[in-house]
Amino acid sequence: MYSDKEINNLIICPKMITKPPKKYLELKYGHLRNSFELSSETKKFYCYIRVCNDFQEDFSIGLIYQPNDAEKLTLVRYNGLHGEHTNPDKTKINTCHIHKASSKCIEENLKPEKYAYTVTNYATYLECLKIFCNDINIQDNINDYFKFHTQLSLL
Amino acid sequence: MFKLDDLKEKFNNRIEFKEKRPGILQVYVPIYREDGDMYDIFIEKSQQNGLIKICDHGLNLMRLSYDYEIDTDKKEEVFHKILNQNQLIEDEGNIYIETDSENLYSAFMQYIQGVSKISSMQYFKKEVIRDMFYENLKDYIHETYEKYNVQDKYYPIEEKTEYEVDYLFDVKPYPVYVFAIKENIKAKNVAISCRQFLLENLNFKSVVVYENMESISKQDIKRVTSAVDKQFPSLQDFKDNSNPYFIKSIAA
């Protein structure tokens, strides 16, 4: 069981890249993908990047916490435009949004990251990735790993 | 472009269609995933035969891949079984079904049913592994410990077949009785059997392998603990640590 404070601490704790992403997004099953691993002291994390190949405004970038002795937990997932999202309180979102794990959802046996909130600070996958890396407090120079100036189709 | 009135009527107008790209409509229907996101469903005209194509442009497999990969033959088999049973087709990640306008509603519902099963494949992992626990343990024991004269289903008290041992290692100085446990009821039975063997003054060593010790109630773990010699909390732990244990205890 995680408190909201613990979840927040896991999201913002300083992290180092332990297994870097591939240089290029790989196409599999109709989507472009990449992933990398992170650590913070003894804690381990996994990040995935997914972009729909047909609709590149539809993407997901997620941070998963991987404890040694418990099930993995999706802490946050940054989504592009994919259609409608409905929160447990029935509020609807039709824009870019961030799913975030909450103690309330965990307590109620819902998908931990079921709650999401609207964001307006990114519209593309690369903008989102830059913000995501900043938000989850990656200490490495992310420009060494991601070509933020490059068009998606060239990645 | 399409006659969608019938679909609207059947959904009591709680369905909308928005143009995603020219010739591609995204369907907004109040059917949501566990994370609150609406299912990704698109309607377009099939390039091959002019039928209506209900599809996802790869988004179901993209979502599945957040925490589950179809990366083994077994998973591929399950995936294709779901596709076949729901008459869905997969082409480079795009899961689709084709239909004429007369059958659009039934095809639409069939499509949702199929993709929701595919979206749930992450849960099959645990269930499949759980279902295969006894089988996996059996394979491992026979592959690894045949040298100990393994016998399946052994009844130490001939006239009392309700007291059963899953695997007998017929070794000196004492036989080893190995039990597999994945449920509370089995834990109770193992504890009762071992106590009965002790009452009968049988000489043996008893070993328990749990599918997942944490899933067994505390009361039942106490019962087992007081009745057996050695417990391995999981199959993986048994694989990692049983060999030195058997070498030591069988040689003793």
**Contact B32/A at CB under 8 A:** yes
CB-CB neighbors (< 8 A) of B67 in chain A: 64, 72, 74
Residue B129 pLDDT class (50, 70, 90 cuts): low
Cα distance between residue B122 and residue B109, in whole Å: 22
Show the tokens assigned to A145: 């790993």
Average pLDDT (B219-246) is 94
Provide the pLDDT for residue B130. Answer: 58
A34: left (phi over 0), alpha (psi -120 to 50) or beta: beta
DSSP labels, A44-80 = EEEEEEEEESS-TT-EEEEEEE--SSS--EEEEEEE-
Out of A50, A111, A115, the one facing B65 most closely (by C-beta) is A50
Strand partners, A31: A28, A52
Out of B30, B34, B57, the one facing A30 most closely (by C-beta) is B57
Residue A155 pLDDT class (50, 70, 90 cuts): very low
Q: Using the beta-carbon criterion (under 8 Å), do B36 and A62 form an inter-chain contact? A: no
Which stretch of B52-61, B66-75, B78-87, B95-104 has the lowest confidence by average pLDDT? B66-75
Q: Is a pLDDT exceeding 60 seen at residue A152?
A: no
Task: Judge whether A86 lies within some domain.
Answer: yes
Cα distance between residue B27 and residue B57, in whole Å: 13
Task: Judge whether A23 lies within some domain.
Answer: yes
Q: Is a pLDDT exceeding 80 seen at residue A120?
A: yes
Provide the pLDDT for residue B203. Answer: 93
Q: Which residues contact B92 (CB under 8 A, 6 or more apart)?
A: A29, A30, B58
Cα distance between residue A72 and residue B25, in whole Å: 36
CB-CB neighbors (< 8 A) of B30 in chain A: 86
Cα distance between residue B18 and residue B59, in whole Å: 17
* Residue whose pair of structure tokens reads 């004269």 in the numeric block: B149
Task: Judge whether A15 lies within some domain.
Answer: yes
Task: Judge whether A28 lies within some domain.
Answer: yes
Task: Judge whether A82 lies within some domain.
Answer: yes
| Mean pLDDT of the residues in chain A | 92
**Contact B59/A at CB under 8 A:** yes
Residue B47 pLDDT class (50, 70, 90 cuts): confident
CB-CB neighbors (< 8 A) of A115 in chain B: 36
Task: Name the domain count of chain A.
Answer: 1
**Contact B128/A at CB under 8 A:** no
pLDDT in tens, B1-33: 677 888 999 999 999 999 999 999 999 999 999
Out of A30, A83, A111, the one facing B34 most closely (by C-beta) is A111
Please give the residue range of the domain that contains residue A84: 4-144
CB-CB neighbors (< 8 A) of A30 in chain B: 57-59, 61-62, 92-94
Strand partners, B55: B42, B96
Provide the pLDDT for residue B135. Answer: 81
Provide the pLDDT for residue B125. Answer: 63
**Contact B66/A at CB under 8 A:** yes
Task: Judge whether A120 lies within some domain.
Answer: yes
Average pLDDT (B147-164) is 92
**Contact B214/A at CB under 8 A:** no
CB-CB neighbors (< 8 A) of B21 in chain A: 55
Alpha helices (H) along chain B: 5-10, 59-64, 73-85, 104-119, 121-131, 133-144, 184-199, 218-227, 235-251
Average pLDDT (A116-137) is 95
Could you tell me if A22 and A43 are in contact, meaning their C-beta atoms sit under 8 angstroms apart?
no
Could you tell me if A118 and A97 are in contact, meaning their C-beta atoms sit under 8 angstroms apart?
yes
Residue B172 pLDDT class (50, 70, 90 cuts): confident
Average pLDDT (B193-201) is 94
Average pLDDT (B181-185) is 89
Task: Judge whether A31 lies within some domain.
Answer: yes
Average pLDDT (B71-98) is 92
Provide the pLDDT for residue A154. Answer: 44
Q: How far is A64 from chain B (nearest CA, A)?
A: 9
**Contact B44/A at CB under 8 A:** no
Residue B251 pLDDT class (50, 70, 90 cuts): low
Cα distance between residue A45 and residue A62, in whole Å: 10
Q: Is a pLDDT exceeding 90 seen at residue A139?
A: yes
Task: Judge whether A149 lies within some domain.
Answer: no
Full-model pTM = 0.70
Q: Nearest to residue B11, comparing CAs of B87, B109, B121, B120? A: B109
* Residues of chain A contacting B, Cβ within 8 Å: 28-31, 33, 48, 50, 52-55, 58, 60, 62, 64, 72, 74, 77, 79, 82-88, 99, 110-111, 113-116
Tell me what percent of the residues of chain B surpass a pLDDT of 90. Answer: 72
Q: Using the beta-carbon criterion (under 8 Å), do B38 and A85 form an inter-chain contact? A: yes
Q: Is a pLDDT exceeding 80 seen at residue B128?
A: no
Q: How far is A54 from chain B (nearest CA, A)?
A: 7
Q: Is a pLDDT exceeding 60 seen at residue A151?
A: no
* Residue whose pair of structure tokens reads 């933020």 in the numeric block: A148
pLDDT in tens, A2-48: 999 999 999 999 999 999 999 889 999 999 999 999 999 989 999 99
pLDDT in tens, A50-90: 999 999 999 999 999 998 767 899 999 999 999 999 999 99
Q: Is a pLDDT exceeding 80 seen at residue B235?
A: yes
DSSP labels, B98-130 = EE-GGGHHHHHHHHHHHHHHHHTHHHHHHHHHH
Strand partners, A40: A43
